[in-house]
Amino acid sequence: MQDELSRILDFWSSQAVDHEYGGFVGQIDSAGQTFPKATKGAVLNTRLLWTFSAAYRSTSNTLYRSMADRAFNYLITHFWDQENGGLFWACDYQGNPLNTRKQAYAQGFGIYAFSEYFLATGNEESLVYAQKLFVLLEEKFRDPQFDGYLEALTADWQPLDDMRLSPKDANSPKSMNTHLHILEPYTNLYRAWPNAQLKERIGLLVKLFQQRIIDPLTGHFNLFFNLDWTVQSNIVSYGHDIEGAWLLHEAALVIKDTKLIDSVRQSALRLVEVTLDEGLAADGSVWYEKEGAHTDKDRHWWVQAEAMVGLMDVWEIEKNDHYIHHLIAIWEFIKLNLVDRKNGEWFWSVDEQGNPKLNEDKAGFWKCPYHNSRALIELTNRIAKL
């Protein structure tokens, strides 16, 4: 796993650096062709900062520190809105603001990235940026009536008609995905800044998942909601279920809430078990999602990565070796099917027959090293403690 982490980060530090326009390129296709004039997204760039910061903190490799420095400087120079605060959604290839909307999801990943860069390097300026984003999420996006956070606002914090995170999403004012990726950065920020209000918000977010987002009948996450938390979808996302299981547990552990830890462990176990019961293929990998009676059986890179961490986490709770057996099966599947030995990194996904989706990017608006690098860092760190 350490070797694979090095291989992934070698790809990003050699092929993804934009030597002409700064930062990192916006797109690399499955064959490794770079598109130097592709749009640069906030999600990719914040995740690059988080990844290289976490890798530097884990390995002390100075190359990763230099890549993290590069990502940090690009974000605050080009993505940070100097007038209104917060992170733009996208810049053009030259770093000019292209889509100035403020997606709560992107602000969350900004917190995740800036807080990790501070933890890795001690850069106080980065912690200040993370704190500013926390304040913006609380003041601009939080719903004072029904709690939770709105999906998106304009550059100057006005309402938007179209709040979708991506074209495939429902145009709902609240989503599981955004709330999961606000909880995750809040947890990391608390490691750097143990603030009382932040701790309270983390606890409330965990309870929001337990009371509003986890379906009490199925044990799955519901994905889209109206303002008052009326469910607006029937999609099951197996990857988010098992990713959310360990992120909820992590949040409760970090704020050291004993009662919450006990209840979250039961929620996490159920999320993992329903994924294994309903989303597991015969070869040990995890399917993508289910909508109604239709199951999308493609195996996406990020789902397999998060499944490994989710399984390791519940094994640490239960010490039941069947979770480790499932983890090993997924790891073997990844090495055999998703790792691209020729062009580097992992394929976006493979179909039921194991054929990679070659029309999907290796690097792009959504394809990044965050899921697979994080899984490998988490697993190697946890294994080292055994």
For residues 153 and 150, give the distance between their C-alpha atoms in angstroms, rounded to a whole number. Answer: 8
pLDDT over 90 (residue 168): no
What is the CATH number for 297?
A: 1.50.10.10
Q: Is the pLDDT of residue 167 over 90?
A: no
Q: Express each pLDDT in 326-343 by its tens digit.
A: 999 999 999 999 999 999
pLDDT band for 102, please (50, 70, 90 cuts): very high
- In whole angstroms, give the CA distance from residue 139 to residue 132: 11
Question: What is the DSSP secondary-structure string of 85-139?
Answer: -SB-SEE-TTS-EEE--EEHHHHHHHHHHHHHHHHHH--HHHHHHHHHHHHHIII
pLDDT (0 to 100) of residue 252: 98
**How large is the C-alpha radius of gyration of the chain?**
19
**What are the residues whose beta carbons fall under 8 Å from the beta carbon of 46, sequence distance 6 or more?**
75, 87, 106, 109, 110, 112, 113
**Residue 62 near residue 26, CB atoms below 8 Å:** no
Asked whether the beta carbons of 192 and 115 are under 8 A apart, the reply is: yes
Confidence bin at 355 (pLDDT 50/70/90): very high
In the chain, which ranges are continuous DSSP H helix? 2-15, 42-59, 62-74, 104-121, 124-136, 176-192, 196-208, 238-255, 258-279, 301-318, 321-333, 370-384
d(CA 25, CA 359): 18
Domain of 180 in residue numbering reads as: 2-384
- Give the tens place of pLDDT for each residue, 272-317: 999 999 999 999 999 999 999 999 999 999 999 999 999 999 999 9
The β-bridge partners of 289 are 237, 296
Residue 41 has pLDDT above 90, yes or no: yes
DSSP at 152 = E
CA dist list (Å): 242 to 99, 284, 315, 341: 32, 14, 13, 27
For the chain, the domain total comes to: 1
Q: What is the mean pLDDT of the chain?
A: 97
pLDDT tens profile 206-235: 999 999 999 999 999 999 999 999 999 999
Q: How confident is the model at residue 247 (pLDDT cuts 50, 70, 90)?
A: very high
- Closest by CA position to 8, among listed 74, 75, 64: 64
Angstrom CA distances, 145 to 118, 151, 317, stand at 34, 15, 36
- Average pLDDT for 4-15: 98
Residue 379 CA to its chain's centroid (Å):
16
pTM for the model? 0.98
Whether 163 contacts 152, CB under 8 Å: yes
121: pLDDT strictly greater than 90 = yes
Contact 298, 349 (CB under 8 A): yes
* pLDDT attached to residue 239: 98
DSSP conformation class of 222: P
Strand, helix or coil at 11?
helix
What is the pLDDT at residue 315?
Answer: 98
